[in-house]
Structure 1
């Protein structure tokens, strides 16, 4: 008998409160399979960023459990959380978070250096990523010389450097013009088609429609809609 693989993300009855205010998340349960591209939608203050931070191990729930790629993230201390992010998570942000005094290649290499990857192996991996993402000609340039779309491609390459089980993207098109935003949409869709599991937080319905195999909508810290029919059947992880 064939046993189905465990989910990449398994969140069970998670709540998160801050002080005396209403909960940022209230009893959220969510399972994400390998190869899914999940878009998290909702108004400002709905709990989207809190959910992403809990998955990334940047915050801890007030109750419930968060398991990612077999790791109980909610039980990790600070040092273990940092190691978990290096090994299992790639993160892409709205404003790129690239180091302007480093070249494109050195920005991409940074996660591998922090993880202790041998230098020659890391350089081969970085060169392959830059070529695959179409930005190898900018390897020796500094990020300030690149367009917004190109900088986001560098950020994606950096996020993929350590072959993460999960790519998290927080408003990845939020700081981009229309053309650059479309470029990033196509890139994320292609990565998911290649088997990369993705969770993205966005206000961009076009991004969700073009990239996601599934969407959830958060309102007041609760999931009010969960649809797996945005772009068809999730890709099979390779």
Structure 2
């Protein structure tokens, strides 16, 4: 058995005086898996993603990703961890409107210290692979929602992260664009990219992942793996 890429062990997280957002949650994800985290609003999906990304810390339990104890990192180390090991795709793209498409994609690599020429070549390669290279000199506001999400995926992949996290990646898209992004995630996983998708959309989960984890009231109530559906 290989070491899991992601391992959450008895993780709990509570905010203020409300019920726990996550309660004694344990989860492992192996390299190369594509996993969908499903559940209604308030089920703990975003909290789970934020803990994996090092944007939040559990009250109890441990979070280990790619051999790093994420729950024990300080602020600077958390930023380096996300830069080097995590690619993130968001519902509303989070692109910088005053930068061109190419500059948006290059930015994360430059922050990581990649030489400018190498970063430009890497960005051009990704934009070409994702079918948006013709927009390299355009600004994000001129692109469709589906095109902006492809640019966001290119940015997320710039530093070759072992893990891609997608938070409602089709939530702001029309159905056709959503299907395109789902197909893109499927292709990335087929090439070996480990992906965790948080979504409320079972159709997206079916289209681009092979394992679904369902959260209800901060607890995992269902974990359907490929072998369980053959």
Q: TM-score range by the shorter chain?
A: over 0.9
Mark the runs of 5 or more structure 1 residues left unpaired by the alignment.
234-238
**Cα offsets for 1:50-107 (capped at 9, x unmatched):** 0000000000000000000000000000010000000000000000000000000000
- Which residue of the partner structure matches residue 192 of structure 1? 189
| Residue from 6, 9, 13 that aligns with 2:10 | 13
- Give the Cα–Cα distance (whole angstroms) in 1 for the partners of residues 184 and 229 of structure 2: 17
Do the aligned partners of residues 94 and 230 (structure 1) sit closer, same or farther apart at CA in structure 2, a change above 3 Å counting? Answer: farther
| Residue from 167, 175, 178 that aligns with 2:175 | 178
Pairing of 1:77-96 with structure 2 (within 5 A): 77-96=74-93
What root-mean-square deviation, in Å, do the aligned CA atoms of Structure 1 and Structure 2 show?
1.3
User: What is the aligned length?
Assistant: 230
Is residue 15–residue 62 contact of structure 1 (8 Å, CA) maintained in 2? Answer: yes
Is residue 91–residue 168 contact of structure 1 (8 Å, CA) maintained in 2? Answer: yes
- Which residue of the partner structure matches residue 145 of structure 1? 142
Pairing of 1:54-69 with structure 2 (within 5 A): 54-69=51-66
**Cα offsets for 1:121-176 (capped at 9, x unmatched):** 11111111001101111100000110000000000000000000100000000000
Pairing of 1:1-238 with structure 2 (within 5 A): 4-229=1-226
Report deviation, 1:112. Answer: 0.3
Q: TM-score, normalised by structure 2?
A: 0.98
Q: TM-score, normalised by structure 1?
A: 0.94
- Give the Cα–Cα distance (whole angstroms) in 2 for the partners of residues 40 and 182 of structure 1: 18
Mark the runs of 5 or more structure 2 residues left unpaired by the alignment.
none
SS in 1 for 2:32: coil
Report deviation, 1:229. Answer: 2.9
- Give the Cα–Cα distance (whole angstroms) in 1 for the partners of residues 227 and 211 of structure 2: 6
